[in-house]
Chain A
Amino acid sequence: MRNYWLRKILAVPLILLVASFLIFWAVRLLPGDPARLMAGMQADQKVVDSVRSRLGLDKPFAIQYEIFLRNVLHGDLGTSIRSHKPVAEEIAERFPYTLALTTVSFALAVAVGTTAGVFAAIFNGRAVDHLVMVTAISGASIANFWLALLAMNLFAVRLAWVPLLGANSWKSYILPAITLALLPSAVIARMCRASMLDIIHQDYIRTARAKGLSTAKVYVNHALRNALIPIVTIVGMNFASLLGGAVITETVFNWPGLGRLMVDAVRYRDYATIQGITLLTVAIVIAVNFAVDVFIGLVDPRIRFD
């Protein structure tokens, strides 16, 4: 088992190196010229060329990558051509907002999704089950930005119960968190139901009942605990990718997180920022994968990574 973790840890720098190259290369494959975008539509070619040279984009690809890599190793992710700030500083400013929104909405999604899934499994085939499943399918199918706009119009513009823009108070979290939680809670509810249905017919559940354990204990301690494994994996991966920024939700709610930063960076071909956010996302995915592995080990002692 120690070897397993050792191998995993040693692979991290290699993954990051390969990822950094792929990101650096892929960003430059995007059509669109950062120098033209920075200089604007009314700039003449001479000015566009001098902007390009200032940004160092007239250098050969290999040299640009070497400079990037050397800077990253010194902790410098480059400077944003849009905000003229170090990318690391820019990310540090935005990441807390994304982390907070993602955490709140995932807590909501897990709470709602698991509860709904467990109830649907317990009342399998009955009205509660159908209600949960229809709601879950609707939740997964509705375009969340559309629902978000309707909710904003009603709750923020007409009723003025919550603020419309930004992240100024706890009330600002209500609409974006619900919007973001919609899809994962639907997915969790469906997975949880399927997983629970599979488990509540197992022998050990019958044994637990036969021992005279209360129904709640049987479902929560025995069934749910085992049903959690596939759910944790899915939730972990979704959570990790959303930490890179929930692009649509953040744009609709004018949320000052990484998702909006990424949209702006792509729009203006701000290479350094795109690279920085993507590298951070890769690092987060690796870290969350680790966490999921550990968590699964804790939940199910039979699983060991030898």
Chain B
Amino acid sequence: VLHCFSTGVAAALPNLVGFSSLARGWRAALATAMVACSVLGCGPDRPAESRVTIMQLEAPLTMDPADHTASLTMDVLDPMYESLTRFDQNLEVSPSLATKWSVDSSGTKWTLELRKGVLFHDGTPFDAQAVVDSFNRLLDPDRGLAGASRVRTIVKQVTAVAPSTVLFTLTSSYASFPRVLAVTPVVSPLADKGGQLSRLAVGTGPYKFVEWKTSEYVLEERNEQYWGPHPKVKQLKWIWTSEPVLMNMSVLAGEADIINPLPPIFAEALSRNPKVKLIEGNESRVFWVALNTQRKPLDDIRVRQALNYATDRKALVRTQLRGFGTPANSPLAPADFAYDPETKGYPFDLERAKALLAEAGYGNGFALKIAVQEPDVDLVEALQGMWANVRVNLEIEGMEHGVFSQTIFGSPKQKAEQGIDCVFASWASDNTDPDYQLAPLYRSNQWSPSGANLGFYANGHLDQLLESAAAELDGEKRKALYRQAQQIISDDAPHVLLYYARDIAAQHPGAVPTPVRLLPGGRVELETKD
């Protein structure tokens, strides 16, 4: 760094007329000022015509779609990559790079016919071998790709049976396999071999990668060789900040055309501003408090149910979400196809809560410690007030993101040592499939740190039910199994379910010449592919 600079300054100095005649004391000052001025023009170029700037709350982590699990990173990558299947407007699975598929009666062998004449952005042809390579990198544990969990659990082998036919052999029957495929982008095998995918996106999508300036932006340009309809917008520019206030000001100042995700407090304010249009998506994210079912007094189901009765969900939605959400009755989100609005949850009933606590021997109350990320402390403070009504003293431990993620994935022993009784958490299943919502959170083999069952809940019957439901190929039968599962979980109350938050973004109506929609999990998509 220093070398670069000294060279730059040394090169610039002789060009300055009269520099040598300046008084010695001023030379240093002038040189410094020159360094300053030389970088004044270092910023990105002026906006091109037909460019849409999208600002997010988080920087992308990588350009490799398989090496992360962050939905805001996927947002950035989505225009450049495609998967074998995709979600249509109604969130149903529809063809993308695969034109049709079939499954054998065992549910383990899926055969896909691939789209012909498609090229990756680097000119490599898209074919069965490219699909095999793209999935094999996920299956290889030595690659250590961060987003490999799901595919590694489900897929056993991928084979190219013909240049445009590929066969997936699964470890066991998995009904939602096409939904998994929809969120598993295919990458150029050539780019992967070159080891550059983490910095350079190479897919088959309607936009091509142009530049990723780590601290500033990702620039994408329309792929003129795209096999499908070409998007209207020529360039997409992705920028980011960690400050919601700045995001809010950016859309008002017109420096961002779309901002995502928008915290409810700003959504409420912007909804009254005629210059800005709110984009409302699905309710795909469930918020809850996981209760440590292995620690007293939460090992008693009556105590857990009492906390559920003591929670005024409508008030939480009104105050914390500013109305942009719904009280939760089921562990599945409304965006999920198997969500059952009939699942019996817990109405706000303080008397019932007090009675249950008295019956369990905790009529005089007790203390609980909750782990929560710093930005969510406000939400938990609302709960603190509600639970104080039944003499439950909620001690809030606000944590920085990194500390939080380590704490909540602690083993039962670690959580006992730290005295963590509950965790404030949320989960959105990006493929709107109940298995990816319920299995990691409630199956007994998913106790943290192995999975995301953060309260160490275990119910053998539920385990069997979830396994059968995941394998069931008949849609209606599958739905019925998940209906049962939702009620069992609700009755066992391994958590205090809170609410479903609606995904919200905002845009300048005039600046974006194409409709914008929000996919489950809050991913923004410019409707270019339909």
Contact = CB atoms under 8 A, between A and B. Distances in A.
A207 to B, nearest CB: 25
Contacts of B446: 44
Contact of A165 (B198, B245, B250): B250
Contacts of A91: 1
Interface string A69-96: 0000000000010111100101111111
Nearest to A80: B214
A185 B243 CA distance: 27
Contacts of A166: 43-44, 216, 239
Contacts of B303: none
A92 B213 CA distance: 12
A166 to B, nearest CB: 6
B389 interface: no
A172 B33 contact: no
A78 B253 CA distance: 39
Contacts of B57: none
A169 B41 contact: yes
Contacts of B25: 298
Q: How large is the interface on B (under 10, 10 to 19, 20 to 34, 35 or more residues)?
A: 35 or more
Interface residues of A, number: 74
Most chain A CB within a 10 A radius of its CB, from B41, B61, B199: B61
A29 interface: no
B255 A82 contact: no
Contacts of B62: 84
A164 B255 contact: yes
Given A82-B61, A83-B214, A164 B253 contact: yes
B430 to A, nearest CB: 9
Label chain A's interface by main secondary structure. helix
B17 interface: no
B132 interface: no
Contacts of A107: 32-33, 36
Contacts of A298: 25
Contacts of A230: none
Nearest to B200: A84
B406 interface: yes
A40 B402 contact: no
Interface in A146-184: 149, 152-153, 156-157, 160, 163-170, 172-173
A138 interface: no
A103 interface: yes
Interface in A33-50: 33, 36-48, 50
Interface stretch (A2-10, A193-201, A257-265): A257-265
A156 B249 contact: yes
B237 to A, nearest CB: 11
Given A50-B144, A163-B255, A252-B246, A95 B68 contact: no
Contact of B149 (A43, A80, A263): A43
A212 interface: no
Interface stretch (B93-101, B319-327, B449-457): B449-457
A32 B406 contact: yes
A88 B243 CA distance: 27
Interface in B60-113: 61-62, 68-70
Interface string B252-282: 1101000000000000000000000000000
Given A100-B36, A160-B253, A256-B215, A37 B402 contact: yes
Contacts of A31: 402-403, 406
Most chain B CB within a 10 A radius of its CB, from A165, A251, A256, A298: A165
B290 to A, nearest CB: 12
Most chain A CB within a 10 A radius of its CB, from B40, B446, B452: B40
B42 A45 contact: no
A249 to B, nearest CB: 12
Interface in B206-252: 213-216, 239, 241-243, 245-246, 249-250, 252
Interface in A45-77: 45-48, 50-55
A210 interface: no
A152 to B, nearest CB: 6
Interface string B442-470: 00001001111000000000000000000
B255 to A, nearest CB: 5
Nearest to B41: A169
A43 B70 CA distance: 10
Contact of B146 (A51, A95, A167, A257): A51
B362 interface: no
Contacts of B403: 31-32
B474 to A, nearest CB: 28
A283 to B, nearest CB: 8
B149 A46 contact: yes
A124 interface: no
A169 B406 CA distance: 41
Interface string A206-231: 00000000000000000000000000
Contact of B69 (A40, A95, A267): A40
Contact of B242 (A41, A55, A153, A263): A263
B4 interface: yes
B43 A168 contact: yes
Contacts of B450: 44-45
A157 B252 contact: yes
B35 interface: yes
B424 to A, nearest CB: 13
A18 interface: no
A264 B59 contact: yes
A104 interface: yes
A106 to B, nearest CB: 9
Contacts of A94: 215
B451 A45 contact: yes
B406 A47 contact: no
Given A32-B403, A38-B68, A45-B450, A254 B427 contact: no
Given A99-B35, A254-B241, 7 more contacts: A32-B400, A43-B146, A52-B144, A103-B36, A153-B249, A156-B249, A169-B43
Interface of A: 30-33, 36-48, 50-55, 80, 82-85, 88, 90-97, 99-100, 103-104, 107, 149, 152-153, 156-157, 160, 163-170, 172-173, 251-252, 254, 256-257, 260-261, 263-264, 266-269, 280, 283, 298
20 contacts: A30-B402, A31-B403, A39-B149, A44-B149, A47-B146, A50-B142, A51-B146, A53-B144, A85-B214, A96-B5, A96-B39, A97-B42, A100-B40, A152-B246, A160-B253, A164-B250, A169-B40, A260-B215, A261-B214, A263-B242
Interface of B: 1-2, 4-5, 25, 32-33, 35-44, 59, 61-62, 68-70, 141-149, 152-153, 198-199, 213-216, 239, 241-243, 245-246, 249-250, 252-253, 255, 400-403, 405-406, 409, 427, 440, 446, 449-452
